[in-house]
Every structure is written in C-alpha cells, then in structure tokens.
Amino acid sequence: MKCEVCHTGQRRERLIRYSIIVNDRLIVVDQVPAEVCDQCGETTFRSDIVKRLQKTVAHPGKPVRTLETPVYELA
C-alpha cells in the first residue's frame, strides 16, 4: 500500500521494537506488528495492536529480559 505521508514509499508489514517512557520509566516491547513505510519510516498500528500495547504498558508484568540504558543530557 502506498504511504499517505510521503506519497512515494510503500507500507510493509514488519515486526518492530516499540518504546515509551511512562513516569520516567522506559518500557520496551519487541516483536510488535506494524506497517512501516520503506521511504519515510512512517509507522502505523492496527487498533487491536494498539489495545495490546496499551494493556502491556499499563500492566507490564515480568519482562523477557532487561536492557541497561544510559541517559545523556545535551548541554
């Protein structure tokens, strides 16, 4: 499907890594199905995937693994 944002790329189904910061805590979710434009990178999710992401972020449960993440300031 043609991208509605850049009008040149094609949207393709991919598994991506989704990350969000909630209450100063980084939450990372791997293997998230998404449509991603191969030209501009615009990413969209189906509504059922959004609901699953919201549930995972609200009640993360036990992680499959833990990543160490450095934080820098641009001063």
| Global confidence as pTM | 0.83
In the numeric block, the tokens 């009008």 are attached to 7
| Residue-wise pLDDT tens digits, 54-67 | 999 999 889 999 99
Domain residue ranges of the chain, discontinuous segments joined by +: 1-75
Residue 49 CA to residue 47 CA, distance in Å, equals 5
Which residues have C-beta within 8 Å of that of residue 36, sequence separation ≥ 6? Answer: 11, 12, 14, 16, 42, 43
Q: How far is Cα 53 from Cα 49, in angstroms, rounded to an integer?
A: 6
Measure the CA angle with vertex 70, ends 29 and 63; round to 5°: 30
What topology does CATH give the domain 1-75? Answer: Ubiquitin-like (UB roll) (3.10.20)
Is 41 a residue whose pLDDT tops 90?
yes
